[in-house]
Structure formats: structure tokens, C-alpha cells
Amino acid sequence: IVQRYDILLIEEIRDSSGKAIYKLLEEVNRLGEDQFEREPFVVKFSISNSGVGEIIIAGVHIDPDVAVQEIDALASVHDDLMAHWNTNNIIIMGDFQCRLWLCYKQGIVQRYDILLIEEIRDSSGKAIYKLLEEVNRLGPEVYDIVLSERLGRTSSKEQYAFMYSKSNVKVLDQYQYHDREDQFEREPFVVKFSISNSGVGEIIIAGVHIDPDVAVQEIDALASVHDDLMAHWNTNNIIIMGDFNADCGYVTNKESANLELRDPKYKWLIKDGQDTTTKSSDCTYDRIIVTGDKLFKNIIPGSGNVYYYDEDYGLTEKQV
């Protein structure tokens, strides 16, 4: 009836509370949203000897392509059922198709206050913000990102992004490393953070994706990056992290032992021999290197490990 027309006049509204007309508006708009690929099917049951009496059960098969949106819409389904049958004894069940999305909530993103995301090749710039939107939709923690320029000597450009918890972390400054000697395929991207309740206060984190073809040379150049950051911000509380390609065919054991960053003033949190890949190979490519007395004192012993989320969530190599 309502949706046959662009404009309707409704008269004789006598509801003194003023709620009835808005309830009608809400119901009309809800019906017109087409939120589900397959609408929930709802049955009211009476179960003897259950201690409950009557219950409402809604079954639904969520569309995996828009899982987050459809799951969010189930809150409106619940409210509609509660109003329709005047009860809150409601069960919503079915295939929610959200296991991979829940990984963000239950163990991948929200395990951390700060994450470095590398190899962002999406030229439109939309993909990283889509990820941010989905992470924040799942909640409860709210994240934001700080994004580098598109980097690389060739037409194949990449970006770095730091994703951080807004409740615990503040971005104070950012800095695209000035690679005057053109030592890096993708220059380090550096952010100055303030972290509440960390015991450190302000820290500098530099993210880098080392070119595997010249891995030894680029990793050695990170010592100059460290010195540049220390002079730029007058602090030695510095973390350099990312995909160093620092193992297997790219960096030999002998070359690794002779790197400038093997000086004792640099602490390597991810030890040699830890597999940081998602494939069947066993290589320690990704590294976190820390300097500064405050940072050293606040590192929890044994915390610099690789999180194998594929094992935690039973994911295949293809899903990972």
C-alpha cells in the first residue's frame, strides 16, 4: 500500500505519545530494505516440560558475500519478532558464514594495539579502508589507519599501513624516510606513536618490505635508517619491522651473522628458525628489531613469537 506512492497524506493520528507514526515509518522502511538474500524463517513453538513454555526460533542462511551486513541486520529481526509476539524468548540460528570474519574479531586484528600491513597493491586505495570498516563493524575495539605513499621504482607500487587501536594508541607524527641514496625499492614508512599504559610512552615504528633480490644490502641500510630516526625525533625507542626476506635463498646464515643490525644494541624479537610464512616453506622472513633501554625493559620475555592463526582457526593454506 505505502510503497505504491511517492507521497502520502496520513490523517486522524490520535496517538498522544507520538510514537505510532514513527513505528509505522520504521516498519515500512524495514520492509523495503531487502537486507537478506534468504529471509529468516520464523516459527513459534510450545515445548512441554522445558521450563520456558513458548519460544521463537528464527532460522537463517547468511550470504557469505555480505556476511557482516546480513548478521548486523539480524538485530532488527530480533526486535521485529519481540514486537510481533511480545516476548524476548528468541533464538536465531543457522549458517552465519562468518568464521573468517570472526578471525579478525577473535584473534587476528584485535590481539594487537598496532599492526603493520604490507604489500597493499590496490591502486584504487579502497581495499585497506574496506578492511578497516569490516574490523570496526565487528568491534568492540575501534581501529584507525595511517597510510604511506605508493612506493616502488617500477609500475608495481605498494603501500604500508599501520592499523592501531584508537582507545590505546595515538598517532603523533609520520615520516616517509628520505632515501637520498636510493637504497630501498620501497622506502621505510615511519610513525611516531603514543601508547597508553605501555611503560614506554612514545615510540617510533618503521615498517619496511625488503627487496629480496638485494636483501643483504637493504637490511644493512636499515642501520642508517635507525640513526636518521634517532636524530629526527631525539629518541632511541625505535622498532624496525616488516618482511625482511631475511632467510632461505635471500640471506645466508653467514650473511645474516655479519649484518650491521646484529650489533648487540639491536634486539631481534623474532628469532632465527621461526617460520613466518603461510606456505609449506620454513623461512624466517618477517622480523621485529628493537632498540632503546625503555623498550628493552618493557618487553615481556618470550612475547616475540609468530602467531600461527591458521592453526588456531583450522584454516587451509588457500584460506590463509
Q: What is the pTM of this model?
A: 0.69
Q: Which residue bears the cell 629480496?
A: 212
* CATH code reported for the domain at 10-97: 3.30.300
Name residues whose C-beta falls within 8 Å of residue 236's C-beta, 6 or more positions apart in sequence: 230, 291, 292, 293
| Measured distance CA(209)–CA(187) in Å, rounded | 8
- In eight-state DSSP terms, residue 47 is E
Q: Find the DSSP H helices in 201-240.
A: 215-233
Residues of the chain under the 70 pLDDT cut: 30-32, 97-107
* Residue of 26, 134, 158, 202 with catalytic role: 158
| Measured distance CA(209)–CA(189) in Å, rounded | 10
* CATH code reported for the domain at 100-313: 3.60.10.10
Q: Find the DSSP H helices in 37-126.
A: 67-85, 99-106
The pLDDT tens digits for 36-71 are: 999 999 999 999 888 888 999 999 998 877 777 788
pLDDT value at position 121? Answer: 93
Is 158 marked active-site? yes
Identify which of 174, 276, 173, 186 has the alpha carbon closest to the alpha carbon of residue 222.
186
* Residue of 118, 185, 187, 209 with catalytic role: 209
Q: Which residue bears the cell 622506502?
A: 187
Is 39 marked active-site? no
Domain spans of the chain, in order of start: 10-97, 100-313
